[in-house]
């Protein structure tokens, strides 16, 4: 081994590998999300997020200006992930199944442990921090719009059996699922399992389909 190889090896052992810009952003969002969920908006500090993400506050401030922008960054990432989950493929042969899968995806977003904890944190502090409420409302509205748009696309494949099904049906289905979230927010012992979420989602979807079915 040459002297240069020895020096390079020592340097690599003594210093952590540099993150790419994408890796830094992902680590920041992950740490900030965990901190917001654990400590709430008031209790979260940039310093605590930096420690959790194993990066300096200087690095964080290169990405965001303040805590409000950091929360918007976290919610923006949640929006992207949520809309991706709602990109359910069509199933012209069994369109009802596509609706079931879509509703399950939305239910998981709204009623998962993280979804309920986020909503609970926002509800607890939104009067003190308008920017918190605005970011959260923007995120859920974008996800709701994505759900409605995908639902409307599926309606074309279901027109024979459900000729009157449209965005009103999507709103009805979402309202039923969102209603369960409001109950979960008030329940400190809430701990829904994936199986129970799927069952609730299928129940809601079945009720909507029966409400719009004809000749059945």
Segment-wise mean pLDDT, segments of 10 residues, the chain, 216 residues: 50 58 92 93 94 94 92 92 92 90 96 92 89 90 95 87 88 94 92 95 95 72
Integer Cα distance of 202 and 99 in angstroms: 9
Please name which of 188, 194, 78 lies closest in space to residue 142, comparing C-alpha atoms.
Answer: 78
DSSP 166: S
User: Can you give the pTM of this predicted structure?
Assistant: 0.84
Q: Note the pLDDT of residue 5.
A: 52
Q: Note the pLDDT of residue 161.
A: 83
The most distant pair of C-alpha atoms in the chain lies apart, rounded to whole Å, by 84
Q: Note the pLDDT of residue 12.
A: 43
Integer Cα distance of 165 and 158 in angstroms: 8
């Amino acid at each position: 081994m040459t002297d240069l190889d020895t020096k390079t090896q020592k340097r690599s052992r003594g210093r952590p590998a540099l993150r790419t810009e994408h890796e830094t952003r992902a680590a920041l969002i992950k740490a900030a999300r965990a901190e917001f969920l654990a400590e709430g908006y008031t209790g979260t500090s940039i310093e605590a997020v930096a420690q959790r993400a194993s990066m300096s506050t200087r690095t964080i401030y290169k990405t965001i200006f303040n805590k409000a922008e950091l929360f918007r960054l976290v919610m923006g990432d949640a929006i992207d992930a949520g809309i991706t989950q709602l990109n359910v493929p069509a199933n012209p042969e069994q369109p009802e199944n596509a609706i079931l899968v879509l509703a399950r995806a939305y239910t998981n977003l709204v009623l998962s442990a993280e979804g309920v904890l986020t909503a609970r944190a926002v509800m607890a502090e939104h009067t003190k921090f308008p920017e918190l409420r605005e970011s959260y409302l923007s995120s859920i509205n974008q996800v709701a719009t994505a759900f409605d748009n995908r639902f409307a696309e599926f309606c074309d494949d279901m027109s024979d059996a459900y000729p009157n099904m449209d965005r009103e049906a999507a709103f009805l289905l979402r309202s039923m699922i969102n209603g369960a979230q409001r109950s979960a927010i008030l329940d400190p012992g809430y701990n829904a399992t994936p199986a129970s979420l799927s069952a609730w989602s299928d129940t809601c979807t079945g009720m909507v389909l029966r409400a719009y079915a004809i000749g059945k």
